[in-house]
């Protein structure tokens, strides 16, 4: 019998509780026809079910609004729009009336048609998950089923939810008082559900292949959301070891608290700029509290979450001002819409593409859709009137993309001036280096860019030809691959020669061992996930520069990712308890720990 599983730690914390299995299985729908005189009744049943599902989704949205906030609750607005899609429902009604199909038979037929259409294009993972959730609710309603709801968890129990896949819509419904851990067979650190689990403070492990087959309902499970380990039916010794590990991490957290207000300087006195990555509005306060020196990556995609229309220029300008005001005296780098892949808003007509992550996305969408891009540029210019705000372009592969954007910035600045609207005269426009193409032409991009920021998530994905959302390939997705290390070194050298700042804003900057490697390569600007800021600062203040340089030198000469990782670990281990700094784990911060049997609480 399997007693241990390994996955990807995506949200830190240790918890032990019985397993609660969530299966999103579609009911078996029989091929049923009705008499002509029953057609109107079937159409009425269909409409009743739609109304029920829409009402139910609205109720879930209100619960999430109270528990997590308005941004997370917007996902249900998107689901409601999907549920009442007039074209889809009209096609279902046509099947009922013309083919005399029952409501559930007609609905399933069209649902399968839509799912196959999207799945065949291999696109929009998160949207497909939401679409599946709606179809499951509809079929359950039409067939008289209830289906699994997380709200059915007994209120006197704590459980660890186990599922094949955790969609964002499922994750944001979790009751944090009773759901103390998450396990899914699919997903990675960069999945939307993983980000939400971290935001909600629930320990989570994703990419745990075979979890549903190995874990029966009610089995006691010990989960470590930092290390990515799952122990089934843990022994007393294993529980004691978990408590020891928790105690060790707790001592580290006490040390981290002492460095939050301290400057980020190396033992030799070299200052390091530690900025924050901000994805959701609630992360603003966390980044400020953790001592972020501005925002190195302000993602704007949350403005699209759950919306049926793009946000207005005024809405965007107001949000950008809010962020810049929170970081008064520090720069805020706003990334233009990173649309495409799995991030198209509901109201945006996305194309069907065989390889959407290699297709029409990011700066390509923005430049092709001036009605989308120009209002955002205007909003950034308005917010930058008396604030230090910069614009960053994602997925740049052509010098022309930067030149076209700079021309748009100039045109919109002139237009705002003619309209008498207060705005900045211009903007620093920088580039995200996140493809091998951009790294190879960095010298040319430097001629037209105000700064570089390296997005290591996509740089790793595109360099290694590894889908970062594929749990099966998670072991191959590593920024410690020698090809990534060499590109990091080369781009920094190009930036220095051109006299422009170069920073790292990808996940790599938030991992303590990787941060040491970056310092050793010569980086002095990192943009970090807010909860990771104290740990990265502590490592900066602890590991001497010569040691970091030694690790980087070994990494540049390494032939494999394993050699790179070991070179860093061997050096850092001279100064830090290496057991606390797993380069592939989530980081201490926002930790939540459940009761460990027999009644002891870890903290």
Q: What is the mean predicted confidence (pLDDT) over 521-550? A: 94
Q: Which tokens in the block code for residue 367?
A: 């430049």
CA dihedral 434, 436, 440, 442 (to 10 degrees): 0
DSSP 452-480: EEE-HHHHHHHHHT--TT-GGGGGG--TT
Is the pLDDT assigned to residue 99 strictly greater than 60? Answer: yes
Q: Residues 299-427: name the CATH superfamily.
A: Phosphoenolpyruvate-binding domains (3.20.20.60)
Provide the β-strand partners of residue 226. Answer: none
| Tokens 């026809």 belong to residue | 33
Q: What is the mean predicted confidence (pLDDT) over 566-589? A: 70
Q: Which of 391, 397, 390 is nearest to 364 (CA)?
A: 397
Question: From CA 198, how far away is CA 194, in angstroms rounded?
Answer: 6
Q: Which helix (H) or strand (E) holds 197?
A: helix 192-200
Do 360 and 349 touch, CB atoms closer than 8 A?
A: no
Where exactly are the structural domains of the chain?
A: 25-142, 249-269+431-582, 299-427
Higher pLDDT, residue 231 or 186? 231
| pTM of structure | 0.72
Higher pLDDT, residue 545 or 60? 545
Is the pLDDT assigned to residue 553 strictly greater than 60? Answer: yes
Provide the pLDDT for residue 118. Answer: 55
Phi-psi region of 588 (alpha: psi -120 to 50; beta: other; left: phi over 0): beta
pLDDT over 90, % of the chain: 52
Is the pLDDT assigned to residue 586 strictly greater than 50? Answer: no
16 labelled catalytic = no
Do 410 and 381 touch, CB atoms closer than 8 A?
A: no
Tell me which of 192, 198, 480, 584 is the catalytic residue.
192
Is the pLDDT assigned to residue 601 strictly greater than 70? Answer: no
Higher pLDDT, residue 275 or 87? 275
Confidence bin at 27 (pLDDT 50/70/90): confident
| Tokens 């993602």 belong to residue | 299
Confidence bin at 120 (pLDDT 50/70/90): very low
Least confident of 133-137, 353-357, 372-376, 450-454: 353-357
Q: In whole angstroms, how far apart are CA 294 and each of 283, 323, 325, 527?
A: 12, 9, 10, 9
Phi-psi region of 131 (alpha: psi -120 to 50; beta: other; left: phi over 0): alpha
Strands (E) in 166-266, as ranges, are 179-184, 204-206, 220-224, 229-232
Confidence bin at 307 (pLDDT 50/70/90): low
DSSP 97-157: HHH-B-HHHHHHHHHHHHHHHHHHTT--HHHHHHHHHHHHHHHHHHTT-----GGGS-TT-
Asked whether the domain spanning 299-427 has the same topology as the one spanning 25-142, the reply is no
Provide the pLDDT for residue 599. Answer: 33
Q: What is the mean predicted confidence (pLDDT) over 505-516? A: 90
Is the pLDDT assigned to residue 124 strictly greater than 90? Answer: no
Q: Which tokens in the block code for residue 440?
A: 């190879």
Q: Which tokens in the block code for residue 455?
A: 């997005």
What is the C-alpha end-to-end distance of the chain, expressed in Å? Answer: 31
Counting every residue, how long is the chain?
603
Higher pLDDT, residue 598 or 304? 304
Is the pLDDT assigned to residue 188 strictly greater than 60? Answer: yes
Question: From CA 157, how far away is CA 224, in angstroms rounded?
Answer: 20
Is the pLDDT assigned to residue 468 strictly greater than 80? Answer: no
Q: What is the mean predicted confidence (pLDDT) over 288-312? A: 84
Do 411 and 426 touch, CB atoms closer than 8 A?
A: no
Confidence bin at 349 (pLDDT 50/70/90): low
Q: Which of 210, 341, 107 is nearest to 115 (CA)?
A: 107
192 labelled catalytic = yes
Tell me which of 178, 366, 481, 505 is the catalytic residue.
505
Provide the pLDDT for residue 584. Answer: 38
CATH placement of domain 249-269+431-582: 3.20.20.60
Instruction: Using alpha carbons only, give the angle 108, 109, 113 rounded to the nearest 5 degrees.
Output: 110
Provide the pLDDT for residue 127. Answer: 62
Question: From CA 550, how far away is CA 562, in angstroms rounded?
Answer: 16
Q: Which tokens in the block code for residue 531?
A: 């909860």
Question: From CA 92, how far away is CA 43, in angstroms rounded?
Answer: 9
Question: From CA 267, how far away is CA 382, in angstroms rounded?
Answer: 41
Provide the pLDDT for residue 585. Answer: 36
Beta pairing, strands 14-22 & 159-163: parallel
Considering the chain, what is the average pLDDT of its residues?
84
Q: What is the mean predicted confidence (pLDDT) over 243-271? A: 84
Is the pLDDT assigned to residue 334 strictly greater than 90? Answer: yes
Whether CATH 1.10.274.10 fits 25-142: yes
Provide the pLDDT for residue 602. Answer: 34
Q: Which of 327, 340, 435, 341 is nearest to 383 (CA)?
A: 327
Burial class of 399 by CB neighbour count within 10 A (0 to 12, 13 to 18, 19+): middle
Provide the pLDDT for residue 74. Answer: 67
Q: What is the mean predicted confidence (pLDDT) over 135-157? A: 72
Provide the pLDDT for residue 128. Answer: 66
Backbone angles phi, psi at 135, to 5 degrees: -65, -40
Confidence bin at 554 (pLDDT 50/70/90): very high
Confidence bin at 65 (pLDDT 50/70/90): confident
């Amino acid at each position: 019998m399997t007693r241990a599983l390994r996955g990807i730690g995506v949200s830190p914390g240790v918890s032990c509780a019985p397993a609660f299995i969530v299966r999103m299985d579609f009911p078996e729908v029989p091929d049923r026809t009705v008499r002509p005189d029953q057609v109107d009744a079937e159409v009425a049943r269909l409409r009743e079910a739609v109304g029920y599902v829409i009402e139910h989704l609205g109720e879930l949205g209100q619960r999430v609004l109270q528990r997590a906030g308005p941004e997370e609750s917007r996902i249900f607005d998107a689901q409601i729009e999907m549920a009442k899609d007039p074209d889809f429902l009209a096609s279902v009604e046509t099947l009922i009336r013309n083919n005399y199909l029952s409501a559930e038979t007609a609905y399933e037929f069209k649902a399968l048609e839509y799912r196959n259409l999207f799945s065949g294009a291999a696109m929009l993972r998160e949207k497909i998950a939401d679409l599946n959730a709606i179809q499951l609710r509809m079929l359950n309603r039409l067939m008289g089923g209830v289906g699994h709801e997380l709200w059915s968890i007994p209120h006197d129990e704590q459980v660890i939810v186990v599922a094949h896949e955790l969609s964002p819509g499922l994750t944001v419904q979790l009751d944090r008082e009773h759901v103390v851990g998450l396990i899914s067979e699919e997903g990675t650190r960069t999945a939307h559900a993983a980000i939400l689990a971290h935001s909600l403070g629930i320990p989570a492990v994703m990419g745990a292949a075979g979890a549903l087959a190995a874990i029966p309902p009610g089995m006691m499970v010990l989960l470590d959301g930092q290390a990515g380990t799952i122990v089934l039916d843990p022994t007393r010794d294993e529980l004691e070891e978990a408590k020891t590990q928790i105690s060790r991490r707790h001592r580290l957290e006490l040390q981290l608290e002492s460095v939050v207000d301290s400057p980020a300087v190396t033992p030799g006195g070299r200052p390091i700029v530690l900025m924050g990555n901000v994805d959701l509005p609630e992360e603003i306060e966390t980044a400020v509290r953790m001592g972020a020196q501005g925002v190195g990556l302000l993602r704007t995609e949350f403005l699209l979450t759950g919306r049926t229309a793009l946000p207005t220029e005024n809405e965007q300008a107001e949000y950008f001002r809010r962020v810049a005001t929170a970081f008064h005296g520090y720069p805020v780098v706003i990334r233009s819409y990173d649309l495409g892949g799995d991030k198209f808003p509901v109201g945006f007509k996305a194309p069907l593409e065989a390889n959407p992550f290699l297709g029409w996305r990011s700066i390509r969408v923005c430049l092709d859709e001036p009605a989308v891009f120009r209002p955002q540029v205007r909003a950034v210019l308005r917010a930058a009137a008396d604030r230090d705000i910069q614009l960053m372009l994602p997925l740049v592969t052509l010098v022309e993309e930067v030149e076209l954007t700079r021309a748009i910035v100039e045109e919109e600045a002139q237009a705002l001036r003619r309209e008498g609207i207060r705005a900045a005269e211009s903007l620093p426009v920088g580039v995200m280096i996140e493809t091998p193409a951009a790294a190879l032409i960095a010298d040319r991009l430097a001629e037209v860019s105000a700064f570089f920021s390296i997005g290591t998530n996509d740089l790793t994905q595109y360099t290694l030809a590894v889908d970062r959302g594929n749990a099966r390939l998670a072991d191959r997705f590593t920024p410690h691959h020698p090809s990534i290390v060499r590109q990091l070194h080369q781009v920094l050298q190009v930036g220095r020669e051109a006299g422009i700042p170069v920073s790292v804003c990808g996940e790599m900057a938030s991992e303590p061992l990787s941060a040491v490697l970056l310092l050793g390569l010569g980086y002095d600007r990192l943009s970090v996930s807010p909860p990771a800021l104290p740990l990265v600062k502590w490592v900066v203040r602890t590991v001497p520069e010569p040691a970091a340089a030694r690790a980087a030198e070994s990494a540049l000469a390494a032939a494999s990712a394993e050699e790179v990782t070991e070179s860093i670990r061997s050096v850092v281990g001279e100064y830090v308890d290496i057991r606390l700094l797993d380069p592939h784990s989530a980081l201490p911060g926002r930790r939540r720990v459940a009761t460990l049997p027999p009644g002891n609480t870890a903290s």
